[in-house]
Structure 1
Amino acid sequence: MGLILILLGVIAFIVVATSKFKLHPFLTLILASFIAAFAYGLPSQEIAKTITNGFGGILGYIGLVIVLGTIIGTILEKSGAAITMAEVVIKLFGQRFPTLTMSIIGYLVSIPVFCDSGFVILNSLKQSMAHRMKVSNVAMSVALATGLYATHTFVPPTPGPIAAAGNLGLESQLGLVIAVGVFVAAIAAFAGMLWANRFKNEEPDGEGAEELTQQLDQLDDLKNAYGKLPSPAKAFAPIFVPIALICLGSIASFPSKPLGEEGIFSLLVFLGQPVNALMIGLLLSLSLLKSDKKIAEFSERISQGLVVAAPILLITGAGGAFGAVLKATEIGAFLGSSLSALGVGIFMPFIVASALKSAQGSSTVALVATSALVAPLLGDIGLDSEMGRVLTVMAIGAGAMTVSHANDSFFWVVTQFSRMSVKQAYRAQTAATLIQGVTAMITVYLLSLFLL
């Protein structure tokens, strides 16, 4: 019982430090690592080594992938590629299904671009579509937000799912994580879209709502600010070519060796390694650079990407340190046997992640911290297989979207740009994320019945 009380105390420290005292998650997780190490009685001479090895170990696997993915996303964001991707979807789906179209746009854009940035970039497009298709701005906002949110929590190379996969030993199987994540994210996005349809006739009631009809020229201004938009091929290639290569590399590495063991096999295994695939994506993104001084522009985009990636790397590394400390204690075996007796199984990662997400607001922190926490337990709760680990990432992702409310920056981005009141945003956006998380978890559970 003492082991569980210590763990609950450490989790409470993480929640209180990040939510009430606004301590940075990086420092919070490092402090939690030391607290857990001392509380569980690890030898004092081993504590620093365990923490530093855990920190460096996870970044050695996944750090470059996070950096490269973030730089590609920055280039796509600054070049107007997200607008091009959105316009392609509009042409494909037309105006018959406005909320579905908006949801698909968000689903695609948030794979390379953070959901917060994606919403800001696409806000003018969303307003224009809502006016043109005579659909409530609330419904279109929730459809866009939930589409963005789905791939943000489930599909690499978004940093949160990558970090969770790394903590659970899946750094060489990102293709499988992507394949399952794309499916689960699609179900979650569809659930969010259905909820958005409830608000088709409800207009925003927040401050400045009456100004929305006066802002329809912003989309043209936004396009003009980007200059000539990139072609669809140039816009999609930097993200979908690496994803395709990673998936093909995973297929080539199947035990049955469907592509043989030489020639094309060796090439795909090489190209399918996440770092190599994302380097190709980075090279493809060079075609999106617009200025005459492309080297200077490229260097600026790298700097901007590194600024975004730095806190994610630190949080990911701190999560690895926290996980390493827990692995060095007896809590894993004890909790594993206790949870096995309760039959919680795949629901346990979801419960922990949803508690962390709801309490402190950050989906990325919830993904990193929960994956570090549950990694030592997988063998004891029957999830130690490759597919068990993949579904654990999905369960954590489902929890990491449950729920987005006032302590989440994304909630405020959606609320402010959509001109919703806080009360309305809780009914529309927060409730949507609850439905998304629960629906995604049910999907993961059903998959576990067939795949485990």
Structure 2
Amino acid sequence: MGLVLILVALVVFIVLATTRFKLHPFLALLAAALLAGFAYQVPAMEIVKHITTGFGGILGYIGIVIAFGTIIGVILERSGAAITMAETVIRVLGERFPTLTMSIIGYLVSIPVFCDSGYVILNSLKNALAARMKISVIAMSVALATGLYASHTFVPPTPGPIAAAGNLGLESSLGLVILVGLFVSAVTALAGMWWANRFIGKDIPLEEDGAPIMASEDYQQMRDSYGVLPSAGKAFAPIFVPIGLICLGTLANLPAKPVGEGFIYTVMAFLGQPVIALAVGLGLACTLLKSDNKRQEFHDRVVEGILAAAPILLITGAGGAFGAVLKVTPLGDYLGETLSALGIGLFMPFLVAAALKSAQGSTTVALVATSALVAPMLGQLGLDSEMGRVLTVMAIGAGSMTVSHANDSFFWVVTQFSRMSVATAYKAQTMATLIQGLTGMLTVWLLSLILL
């Protein structure tokens, strides 16, 4: 029981340090790792070794992938590719299903672009469509926000799911994480859209303060500010070519060896490595550069990407350090035996992630910290198979979206840019993320009945 109390105290420390004392999650997780070492009586001279080994181990592979993915996202954002992607979806679906269209746009754009940035970029498009189709701005806002939120939480190369996969030993199985993540996130996006549809016919007054609600002509002006927009092929290629390569690599490495072990296998396995696949994606993203001095533009975008990736890399590394210390304690065996007797399985990582997310606000921190925490106990929970680990990432992702409220920056982005009152935002956005999280966990549990 003492082992569990120490763990609870560590989780409370992380929450209080990041919320009340405003300590950066990187330092909070490192401090938690150090405290865990002393509390669990790890030999004093070995604590720092475990911290540094865990920090370097997770970043040695996942770090480059996170950096490449972030740089690609910055280039897509600055080039207007996100606008192209959105308009392509509108052309395909038309305007018959406005909330479904917004949900799909958010779902696609948030795979490479952070959901906060994606919402800001697409806000004027969303408002213009709402005005043109005479649909409630609230309904369209929730549909866009939940679509963005779904893929942001479940689908690599978004940093949070990548970090969680790395902590759970899935570096070479990212293709499987992507495939399962695409399915689970699609279900949760539809759940968010279902909730958004409740607001279609409601006349809810908007706040006076906040971003102006753009009409079609304002959207056109914003669109023109990007200059000539890239074609749909160029816009989608930096996302879907790497995802396709990673999935092919996973296929080639299946135990049955479906393509044999010759030249084709070597090519597929090499290109399917996430680092190589994202490097190909970065090369394709370079075709979106459009200034006269492309070398300087590329340099500037790389600098922006590195600056955006730095805190995520540090948090990810610190989560790896925390997990490395927990792995050498008796906590895993004790908790695994206790929890396996309770039979809650995948619901344990979901509940821990949901508690962390609701308490401190960051989805990425919840993904990283929870995956580091549950990694030592996967064997005892019966989740140490490859698919068990993949579904654990999904369960953590479902918890990490439950719920977005006032301590989450995304909540305020949606609130301010949609001009919702805080009370309306809790009914619309926060409730939508609760429904998404519960739906995501139900989907993961049903998958576990089939796949485990």
Which residue in the other structure is 2:381 paired with? 381
Deviates more, 1:251-260 or 1:215-224: 215-224
- Cα distance, 1:206 vs. partner? 3.8
Which residue in the other structure is 1:76 paired with? 76
Q: Per-residue displacement from partner, 1:12-43 (whole Å, max 9, x unpaired)?
A: 00011111121100000000001111011110
Deviates more, 1:219-228 or 1:313-322: 219-228
Which residue in the other structure is 2:444 paired with? 444
Which residue in the other structure is 1:397 paired with? 397
Counterpart of 1:161 in 2: which secondary structure?
A: helix
AA aligned to 2:378 is: L
Is the CA contact (8 Å cut-off) linking 1:204 and 1:419 kept in structure 2?
no
Which residue in the other structure is 1:257 paired with? 257
> Quick check: 1:267 aligned with 2:243?
no
Which residue in the other structure is 1:278 paired with? 278
Is the CA contact (8 Å cut-off) linking 2:322 and 2:372 kept in structure 1?
yes
Which residue in the other structure is 1:60 paired with? 60
Which residue in the other structure is 1:306 paired with? 306
CA gap of 1:449–1:43, structure 2 versus 1, over 3 A, is: same
- Cα distance, 1:224 vs. partner? 1.4
Which residue in the other structure is 2:114 paired with? 114
- Mapping for residues 414-433 of structure 1, pairs under 5 Å: 414-433=414-433
Which residue in the other structure is 1:123 paired with? 123
Which residue in the other structure is 1:243 paired with? 243
Counterpart of 1:172 in 2: which secondary structure?
A: helix
Q: Per-residue displacement from partner, 1:35-57 (whole Å, max 9, x unpaired)?
A: 11101111011011010000000
RMSD: 1.1
AA aligned to 2:2 is: G
- Cα distance, 1:209 vs. partner? 7.1
Q: Taking every aligned residue pair, what percent have the same amino acid on both sides?
A: 70
Distance 2:215 2:449 in 1: 49
- Cα distance, 1:261 vs. partner? 1.2
Is the CA contact (8 Å cut-off) linking 2:131 and 2:215 kept in structure 1?
no
Is the CA contact (8 Å cut-off) linking 1:204 and 1:421 kept in structure 2?
no
Q: Per-residue displacement from partner, 1:426-451 (whole Å, max 9, x unpaired)?
A: 00000000000000000000000010
- Cα distance, 1:210 vs. partner? 10
> Quick check: 1:153 aligned with 2:153?
yes
Distance 1:205 1:58 in 2: 48
AA aligned to 1:345 is: G
- Cα distance, 1:264 vs. partner? 1.4
Counterpart of 1:173 in 2: which secondary structure?
A: helix
Is the CA contact (8 Å cut-off) linking 2:124 and 2:214 kept in structure 1?
no
Runs of 5+ unmatched residues, structure 1: none
Counterpart of 2:424 in 1: which secondary structure?
A: helix
Is the CA contact (8 Å cut-off) linking 1:138 and 1:203 kept in structure 2?
no
Which residue in the other structure is 1:13 paired with? 13
CA gap of 1:325–1:213, structure 2 versus 1, over 3 A, is: closer
- Mapping for residues 347-358 of structure 1, pairs under 5 Å: 347-358=347-358
CA gap of 1:239–1:71, structure 2 versus 1, over 3 A, is: same
- Cα distance, 1:214 vs. partner? 5.8
Which residue in the other structure is 1:362 paired with? 362
Distance 1:359 1:213 in 2: 32
Is the CA contact (8 Å cut-off) linking 1:89 and 1:104 kept in structure 2?
yes
AA aligned to 2:152 is: H
Which residue in the other structure is 1:207 paired with? 207
Length-normalised TM-score, structure 1: 0.99
Length-normalised TM-score, structure 2: 0.99
Counterpart of 2:379 in 1: which secondary structure?
A: coil
Counterpart of 2:171 in 1: which secondary structure?
A: coil
Is the CA contact (8 Å cut-off) linking 1:204 and 1:418 kept in structure 2?
no
Is the CA contact (8 Å cut-off) linking 1:361 and 1:407 kept in structure 2?
yes
AA aligned to 2:312 is: I
- Cα distance, 1:207 vs. partner? 2.2
- Cα distance, 1:205 vs. partner? 3.0
